[in-house]
Amino acid sequence: MAEVGLHVHANGKNTEQPVVRRTAEFHPNVWSYDFLQSLSSPYGAPSYSERVQTLIEEIKMDTFCDLLGDGEMNTSEYDLLERFFIVDILQRLGIDRHFQKEIKAVLEYTYKYWNDEKGISWGRENLIVDLNTTALGFQILRLNGYSMSPDVFQNFQDETRQFIFPKNSKEDEYKLRSPLSLYRASEIRFPGENILKQAKIFAYTCLQQAIGENRELLGKNQLVTEVEYIMKYPWKCRVQRWEAWNFIKIFRLDINASLGMKGAYEVSSDRKMKILELAILDFNILQAQHHNELKILSKWWDETKVKELSFFRQRHVEFYFWYTCGLYEKELSATRLCFAKVAALITLIDDIFDTYGTIDELSHFTTALIEWDMSIMDRLPEYMKTCFQFAHKTYMEIATEAEKIHGPCVQKWMHDNWKTIILAQLQDAKWIANDYHPSLDEYLKSSVAPTTIPVVSLFPMLLIGTTFPDDIMERINKFQNCLAWGCRLVDDSRDFQDEKDHGENASWIECYMKDNPGTTREQTLDHVNMLIELNFEELTKEHIFYEYEIPNTCKRIYFDIYRGVAFVWRDIDGFTKSSKGIRDDIMKILVKPIYF
């Protein structure tokens, strides 16, 4: 927990009147400039990229020719199951973007055999539907934009609505493979799909029992290790780079088992090694790109004066990690750096308003930030002048780059969101200064987090290189609001006690308990966790089937920002306490290559 202290500082304008300031005693930046500048990787060399291209073409020629043509795979009795497994593996290894055309063709083929009432068999010549293939197919097809009804799983329930396995299920499937596929399918749930909630409970119980019976095989057996990983990290936490890093390890344990059940299609040794080699090279090549960006980011940070201020959370590397876990491709470099910079700026402003600034200072600071009025500088203390100059420079640099892509309209888009967050910060500071406990309704109308999310999501989105229609703000509004409240709920559920300890009474938890006397903290947390699940169901649906036409990268930005929050806040506030939270995760994903 960040400790709270009261510190006496000389007034920047009049040293005769010291100012008593609150500080939260955040731990300092754990990523030194020298360490980040020392990062190096051999995988930036052209020879590795050339090898990747060779592997991509070879996999297209052998594996996908069989999947799409008249080769040996196409006559297998497991041909539908095999196709789903290949797509699943490529997506989980993070290399599916190299095979989009081929994957689309494979999914179109399998979808022809899908029955909304019964499901699908493991092969097109087999008339008996299979729970494992149906669950895996449901998950993959839904995630790839196909309209899938969860009512298909009624076919795998008895008259009492209890899930059962078909009589042809094999022993290993009963214990692990079928419930694992069912569990993963249940995670891709939309609002109101109660049968998937039932499926998740049933599958979780089966998997929990199986893990208990096979704990000695963890880290040795592919299937057991995969089950343990899936249960530990829900889908909403399995951001793409984390998924790729973990699944490479799982895939290594027993590639044949990961591609299908015993007796089904077993990929040749040559093919499986090509897929594994491609996954590792692709991961390491992208990591080399991320090393270069971290050097740029650390140089930028080292040249700022705000790094000398000790009262706020210096987490620029952690923010870069958050965004990069979901949006990792080479062409998204500008958006990654923008996110890290604007998130670092927002954190500085948040900590000034929450703990360090006085109300008098913050009133002037608010006007300066909204109007970008340099004349107000004279009324600010020295630390705040430094912060204002940093904010102005960062904001204007982003605005200049965004205007090159979108034209002058971008100024209004940015300023409207910026103004909202600054005013909300001031309101929050007044509540803290007055020890005021707002009602839940007041909190929902003025809470800071839902207003910070549009800034940290919109600003980098403006740099993806795609021009937007004039009504883009209206189109993204629903998605943006869903994301904002999801992030607010996750943050409050993990961080409310720390915030209360350093004087912040406004959190969803505290406001709800105030409005509902007699409600215990445990009951409130149960309620907020339910709301988190409902919100993620809605966000998942918007991500896959958004009602307005917006670029796919925009949807990814919103969805993966949320998943990054769910990942980093999965146990504690991993940003505020990054030395205890996500430091090891950052080393795995951004620093250390995966070895063959």
| Percent of residues, the chain, with pLDDT higher than 90 | 67
Read off the pLDDT of residues 285-329 as tens digits, 9 standing for 90 and up.
Answer: 999 999 999 999 999 999 999 999 999 999 999 999 999 999 999
Name 157's bridge partners.
Answer: 163
Residues 414 and 538 in one domain: yes
DSSP 3-state of 551: coil
Residues 274 and 344 in one domain: no
- Whether the CB-CB separation of 123 and 81 falls below 8 Å is answered with yes
Half-sphere exposure (Cβ direction) of 151: Cα atoms closer than 13 Å:
5
pLDDT band per the 50, 70, 90 thresholds, residue 15: very low
DSSP H or E stretch at residue 163: none
Distance from C-alpha of 553 to C-alpha of 329, rounded to nearest angstrom = 11
Name 5's bridge partners.
Answer: 23
Query: Can you give the residue range of the structural domain that contains 503?
Result: 5-30+304-591
Report yes or no on 338 lying in a domain.
yes
Q: For the chain, what is the largest distance between any 2 Cα atoms, rounded to a whole number of angstroms?
A: 89
Residues 14 and 67 in one domain: no
- Segment 376-396 shows an average pLDDT of 97
Report yes or no on 296 lying in a domain.
no
Residues 94 and 241 in one domain: yes
pLDDT at site 258 = 44
Residues 250 and 128 in one domain: yes
Report yes or no on 583 lying in a domain.
yes
Report yes or no on 395 lying in a domain.
yes
Residues 425 and 315 in one domain: yes
- Nearest by Cα to 428 from 307, 513, 510: 510
Report yes or no on 35 lying in a domain.
no
Residues 74 and 150 in one domain: yes
CATH of the domain at 151: 1.50.10.130
How many angstroms from the chain centroid is the CA of residue 188? 15
Among 283, 314, 344, the domain-final residue is 283
**Inter-helix orientation angle 449-461/409-433, to 10°:** 160
Tokens 């699908």 locate to 120
Residues 258 and 354 in one domain: no
Residues 268 and 308 in one domain: no
- Segment 335-346 shows an average pLDDT of 98
Tell me, what amino acid is at 327? L
Read off the pLDDT of residues 475-526 as tens digits, 9 standing for 90 and up.
Answer: 998 899 899 999 989 988 887 766 666 656 678 888 899 899 999 999 999 9
Report yes or no on 376 lying in a domain.
yes
pLDDT at site 570 = 86
Read off the pLDDT of residues 235-283 as tens digits, 9 standing for 90 and up.
Answer: 999 999 999 999 999 999 866 454 444 444 455 677 888 999 999 999 9
Residue 326: φ, ψ to 5° = -105, -30
147-161 burial: b if 16+ Cβ within 10 Å, else e = ebebebbeebeeeee
Residues 94 and 192 in one domain: yes
Distance from C-alpha of 206 to C-alpha of 215, rounded to nearest angstrom = 14
Report yes or no on 264 lying in a domain.
yes
pLDDT at site 181 = 96
Distance from C-alpha of 317 to C-alpha of 319, rounded to nearest angstrom = 5
Read off the pLDDT of residues 180-238 as tens digits, 9 standing for 90 and up.
Answer: 999 999 999 999 999 999 999 999 999 999 888 888 888 788 889 999 999 999 999 99
Query: For residue 544, what are the CA distances in angstroms to 188, 531, 558?
Result: 10, 20, 12
Number of domains forming the structure of the chain: 2
CATH of the domain at 402: 1.10.600.10
Distance from C-alpha of 352 to C-alpha of 429, rounded to nearest angstrom = 9
Residues 264 and 359 in one domain: no
Residues 516 and 492 in one domain: yes
Report yes or no on 201 lying in a domain.
yes
Among 219, 248, 283, the domain-final residue is 283
